[in-house]
Structure 1
Amino acid sequence: MRVSVDLNVCQGHGVCYMTTPEIFEPREEDGQAHVVISGELPREHEDAAVLAQQSCPERAITVE
């Protein structure tokens, strides 16, 4: 499973990095979400990634 953030859609609300800091953090320059895990997510983070995707008010997160 992989997770990504569409930076053209992300508004930096911070819901993802407040709820799942093990996967997301804010970029210093604009507060938009940045995925801190590159490549495949460890299995133990998959549920958290789906929660972040569902919680994003802008629907900027993709989990595949």
Structure 2
Amino acid sequence: MRVEFDEPKCVAAGQCAMVAPGVFDQRDEDGVAVVLVAEPGPELADEAQEAAAVCPAAAIRLVEQ
């Protein structure tokens, strides 16, 4: 899977970094999310899916490859 992140849509809620710390983090200066792993393996797939589901701005999209 590949993580597609629409940074301008991000509202810096931090939900993705809380539920998927192996895939996302937040910038210190403004709280906007940062993708740490653009192509998470099977061990991070559940975290990535949860992050996409809880994102209040729908800024995260997962694409199966």
Task: Encode CA deviations 1:8-63: one digit per residue, 9 max, x unaligned.
Answer: 1001000000111111000123111101114x211111111111101001100011
- Determine the C-alpha separation between the residues in 1 that align with 2:8 and 2:37: 20
Backbone CA RMSD of aligned residues: 1.0
> Quick check: which one's helix share is greater?
2
* Structure 1 segments unaligned to the other structure (5+ residues): none
Give the secondary structure class of the aligned counterpart of 2:7.
coil
Residue 37 of structure 1 is matched in structure 2 by: 37
* TM-score for both structures, normalised by structure 1: 0.89
Identical aligned pairs, as a percentage? 40
Residue 10 of structure 2 is matched in structure 1 by: 10
Question: Does residue 48 of structure 1 match 2:56?
Answer: no
* TM-score for both structures, normalised by structure 2: 0.87
How many corresponding residue pairs?
63
